[in-house]
Amino acid sequence: TPSPSETETATFGMGCFWGPDARFGAMEGVVRTRVGYAGGTTPNPRYYSLGDHTEVVQVVYDPGTVTYDELLEDCWANHDWTSTAHKRQYRGVILTHDDHQHEVATRQRTALEEQTGQSAETAIERLEQLFLAEDYHQKYELRSTPVVGDELEAQYGDAFVDSTVVARLNGFVAGHGTPAQRNEVLARLNLPPRLLAELRRRF
**CB of 68 closer than 8 Å to CB of 8:** yes
Whichever of 109 and 137 has its CB closer to ligand MHO, that residue is: 137
Exposed, middle or buried by CB within 10 Å (0-12, 13-18, 19+), for 71? buried
What does the binding site for ligand MHO look like in residue numbers (CB under 6 A)? 16-18, 55, 137
**Least Cβ distance, residue 88 to ligand MHO (angstroms):** 12
Judge whether 16 counts as a catalytic residue.
Answer: yes
Strand partners, 125: 95
Whichever of 16 and 195 has its CB closer to ligand MHO, that residue is: 16
Question: Which of the 8 DSSP states describes residue 135?
Answer: G
**Least Cβ distance, residue 113 to ligand MHO (angstroms):** 27
**Least Cβ distance, residue 90 to ligand MHO (angstroms):** 7
Whichever of 12 and 68 has its CB closer to ligand MHO, that residue is: 12
Strand partners, 8: 61
Q: Spell out the alpha helix ranges (H) of 42-175.
A: 68-77, 99-116, 140-143, 148-156, 164-173
Gyration radius of the chain over CA positions: 17
Identity at 85, one-letter amino acid code: A
Residue with the CB atom nearest ligand MHO in the bound state: 16
Whichever of 8 and 55 has its CB closer to ligand MHO, that residue is: 55
Q: Which of 9, 16, 85, 131 does the annotation list as catalytic? A: 16
- Cα–Cα separations (whole angstroms), residue 66 to 93, 121, 144: 20, 26, 28
The residues assigned a catalytic role are 16
